[in-house]
Amino acid sequence: MPAAGYRGRFAPSPTGDLHLGSLLAAVASYLEARCRGGEWLVRIEDLDPPRTVPGAEGRILGVLAAHGFEWDGPVWRQSERQAVYETAFGQLREAGLIYPCACSRKEVASIARAGVDGPVYPGTCRHGLLAGRMSRAWRLHVDAGCVAFDDAVQGVCKQDLATDVGDFVIKRADGLFAYQLAVVVDDALQGVTDVVRGADLLDSTPRQCHLQQCLGIVPVRYAHVPVLANEHGEKLSKQTLASPLQPEHAALNLWLALCYLGQCPPATLAQGTVADCWQWARAHWSLDRVPRQRSVVWQSDVGMDMRCDLTNDRD
Ligand code: GLU
């Protein structure tokens, strides 16, 4: 990795096509990296074969290229990296930080209280499997006390892992490594210094900070940009059937992303070229102007005449 350099990344999961919401994270991480003279990597997070949609990876890379993104180095694929996750898993096991767990999701859900991201694991198997129970998954111990980090967009964020999440899974019952482990290991091995991504991952970040500490990894800096949400506050996603980005509307898409990111691009740019968009964006990008919100509301009727009065109410 560069000694004192900046290295950012975009890490889409190939569970479907990129949509406008995904573009916000890609644009913000790309501009922040380039404007700091840094590198920008693309990593395909195809850790979960059942969720991988055939052809999605090719379409994601094609759409990124059509929108003028240029990434450094080869694209990494998590599906090819099981051995390094296994090594990290071994390190945690050796250090006595993980334990086998026999509980099914259903069992946990029936006794646990709700946390920030699903049920809080009540620690049933923490001190050993009960007689006759078989190990299914592996969980990482978390201790009481706050994990805090200073997010460049959202400010200081705190979470008590013990009360908000509980011991969390790092190797699943189906034998797959959990996203939380893979993302921390890959960011470290790729020399990523700065993670700029959607605020839907804000609640996962304390788990990742804790894992970095357990694995002796230098922490990265974080900036979580708002996700696009509908008027009910639901994140625009493949699950909510957000429309795939159309390469023929690349300049308009980039312009919209810049608007939602609070950058106030001139309206004329929406009809310009992709190169015009990037030229303007690189000259004017400021992370300080990104709304300090977890989400911004997607306006479906926003078209070519949209003015830059989209939410930018930083206080
Ligand atoms: N693969 C994750 C996603 O597509 C992003 C992970 C990350 O940026 O840390 O939501």
The CATH number that applies at residue 230 is 3.40.50.620
The per-residue pLDDT for 302 is 58
Domain of 43 in residue numbering reads as 7-81+184-297
Q: What is the pTM of this model?
A: 0.93
Check pocket membership of 183 for ligand 1, CB cut-off 6 A.
yes
Residues 89 and 215 in one domain: no
Residues 103 and 238 in one domain: no
pLDDT, mean over the chain? 93
Residues 116 and 260 in one domain: no
Q: What is the mean pLDDT of residues 237-260?
A: 90
Check pocket membership of 13 for ligand 1, CB cut-off 6 A.
yes
Establish if 66 belongs to a structural domain.
yes
CA 181 / ligand 1 centre spacing (Å): 12
Check if 235 is active-site: no
Q: Residue 113 burial (CB < 10 Å; 0-12/13-18/19+)?
A: exposed
Site to probe by mutation for ligand 1, drawn from 79, 81, 180, 183 as the one with most ligand atoms within 8 Å of Cβ, is: 183
Residues 71 and 218 in one domain: yes
Residues 118 and 245 in one domain: no
**Ligand 1 atom 6, closest CA:** 11
pLDDT band at residue 236 under the 50/70/90 scheme: confident
CA 183 / ligand 1 centre spacing (Å): 8
Q: What is the mean pLDDT of residues 9-17?
A: 97
Establish if 179 belongs to a structural domain.
no
Q: What is the mean pLDDT of residues 217-222?
A: 97
Residues 76 and 203 in one domain: yes
The per-residue pLDDT for 282 is 98
The per-residue pLDDT for 298 is 86
Residues 244 and 101 in one domain: no
Give the number of domains in the chain.
Answer: 2
In this model, does residue 312 exceed pLDDT 60? no
Residues 136 and 56 in one domain: no
Q: What is the mean pLDDT of residues 55-73?
A: 98
Establish if 204 belongs to a structural domain.
yes
Establish if 208 belongs to a structural domain.
yes
